[in-house]
Amino acid sequence: MKSILVLATNLQQASYRLRFAALIEPLRRCGIELITRVRPRNLLARRRLIQSAGRFDAVIIQRKFLSPAEAGLLRKSAKKIFLDIDDALMFHNRPVGMISHLRTRRRFLATTKILDHLVAGNLYLADQFRGLRPQLPFTVLPTVVDAMGYPQKIHKPSPSTQLVWIGSSSTLPYLAGALSALEEAAKVVRGLGLTIIADRTLSSSILPIEHIPWSQSTERTDLLRGDIGIAPTPGDPWTLGKCGFKIIQYMAAGLPVIASPIGANAEIVEEGQTGCLPPTYADWPARIVELAQDVEKRLRLGQAGRRRAEHHFSLPTAISTWTSLLNAPASG
């Protein structure tokens, strides 16, 4: 049985839950035991944890950059080091001062230097590291779902059509930025509404909005309240690192997708096959109207999306990928 140390920051963080917690039992059945340890705040405890890395067959740093001192210590201790990342942590999603920028850059450089293998949620993220180390081995592994655990939408003629968006307060501004485009579509499509599955919501005098507080236990069935999954995304260095997880959820639920062609969105959605990628928000109303008025197309795209989720973005993909990586002999 191989023993792998996973250095995590927060076990409740969606990134850990989605990218590692779901893999613990399946990987154990494959002869790989993931031992997760939360990175201590205490410097001495953190140093002891890093020094213990040598007792494991490999270490996975989960969504964290290390200080130069920590990186150097881990490199001396660990047999093999992976970094798993699904956000553009080398950038910031809010204004910060020059000191914070320099600190992030320093940690980014130090962590990149010690890696044996990078596992990135999309190609954009991988390219940020390969800009520093062109020969760094890497694997692109989107955040996956247990597709078979998602009930599928039954598309049938209805006097109303419901858009659905799932996310959090941190990404709700992305939806707010597209709200006027959704309202334009509502002026054309009678009975068009929007379901927001999140901890907060928006309001509109034109587009009826239903708010469902997000719950891990109900999110899969809540998605079925929608007919079309939407993922408006602005383009900036932070959002380019987003890995399109909501899109994968929509596809697993059998929903056609309308998404901005930003970062991983364009890698996941197949234009005309599983959804559409309108280049600007000005193009969104026409695509919404098209899908709202064509239930057969929603069914066709939704079924194709479900198949794509099962074959490319489901749990077996992550299990197979990590099994191969962790069983591979150390280079050099």
272-290 pLDDT tens trace: 999 999 999 999 999 999 9
> pLDDT value at position 14?
83
- Quick one: which of 55, 97, 98 has its CA closest to 77? 55
Q: Which residues of the chain have pLDDT under 70?
A: 330-332
- Where do the structural domains in the chain lie, given as residue ranges? 2-144+314-327, 147-312
> pLDDT value at position 76?
97
> pLDDT value at position 285?
98
pLDDT tens digits, residue range 47-106?
999 999 999 999 999 999 999 999 999 999 999 999 999 999 999 877 778 888 899 999
- Give CATH for domain 147-312: 3.40.50.2000
> pLDDT value at position 331?
61
Tracing tokens 């850990």 back to the chain, one arrives at 16
- Give the neighbor-by-neighbor strand order of the sheet with 58-62: 32-38, 2-8, 58-62, 81-85, 117-120, 138-140
- Fold category of 2-144+314-327 in CATH: Rossmann fold (3.40.50)
Q: Identify the bridge partners of residue 58 per DSSP, sorted by sequence position.
A: 4
DSSP state for residue 131 in the 8-state scheme = T
Q: Which two structure tokens, joined as six digits, stand for 154? A: 């039954």
- Quick one: which of 265, 317, 308, 268 has its CA closest to 119? 317
Query: 299 with 278: CB under 8 angstroms?
Result: no
Angle at 177 between CA 211 and CA 126, to 5 degrees: 100
**Helices (runs of H) and strands (runs of E) counted in the chain:** 14, 12
